[in-house]
Amino acid sequence: MLHVYEFDVFEDEDVLLAPPFNMKGGTQGADFREACEMAADWLKTEMEHRVMRGLPFLEATFGNESRHGGRTIIVAVDASKKTVPRMTAAAAARELGVTPGRVSQMVKAGLLESFELDGRTWLTRGSVEARKEEAPKPGRPRKAAAV
């Protein structure tokens, strides 16, 4: 599904900020091109989040004037459940070095993000990658030595 929104790109303390009109949040870039690329990336992520969670899409408005003396840009992205980088629970278990049962526990605990598509449950690749980055080492923690 194509999503089209306007963003306000303006300079603030040596970076270009790019918040969307009619939505909370936004992004930034070191220069105009990077701010535009980051706005597209932000919008794709936001729309994928909304579709995975069943949240409504906010109505886009057009013809907005910059609120901060910057430039208004139009950003269009293709975003749906099918565009979300995803993997099966079995593949996630292999990557994380845990059992599929542990993956289910991690989903229930909010440590991994999942969604339904075509009657199957998928895990977002981003949540698996983030877990790999912050995951504790395997095994039980050692007990502190008695003093």
pLDDT above 90 for 141: no
Domain boundary among 36, 59, 80: 80
pLDDT more than 90, % of the chain:
88
On whether both 70 and 118 belong to a single domain, the answer is: no
Q: Does residue 142 lie in a domain region? A: no
Banded pLDDT at 146 (limits 50, 70, 90): low
Burial code (b: 16+ CB inside 10 Å, e: under 16) for 137-147 equals: eeeeeeeeeee
Residues 41-46: contacts with CB within 8 Å, 24+ apart?
42/18, 43/3, 43/5, 43/7, 43/75, 43/77, 43/79, 44/77, 44/78, 44/79, 44/83
Q: Does residue 100 lie in a domain region? A: yes
Print the domain residue range for 127: 85-134
Strand partners, 9: 71
On whether both 36 and 16 belong to a single domain, the answer is: yes
Length of the chain: 147
CA distances from 116 to 9, 21, 26, 48, 80 (A): 35, 30, 27, 13, 12
Task: Please give the average per-residue pLDDT across 110-119, as a whole number.
Answer: 94
Q: Does residue 146 lie in a domain region? A: no
C-alpha–C-alpha distance, residues 87 and 129, integer Å: 11
**What CATH number did the domain enclosing 66 receive?**
3.30.160.250
On whether both 6 and 76 belong to a single domain, the answer is: yes
pLDDT more than 70, % of the chain:
93
Task: Name the pTM for this structure.
Answer: 0.82
Q: Does residue 92 lie in a domain region? A: yes
On whether both 96 and 76 belong to a single domain, the answer is: no
On whether both 30 and 99 belong to a single domain, the answer is: no
pLDDT above 70 for 52: yes
On whether both 106 and 49 belong to a single domain, the answer is: no
Q: Tell which residue, 37, 34, 41, 30, has the closest CA to residue 3.
A: 41
pLDDT above 80 for 144: no
Strand partners, 8: 72
On whether both 124 and 67 belong to a single domain, the answer is: no
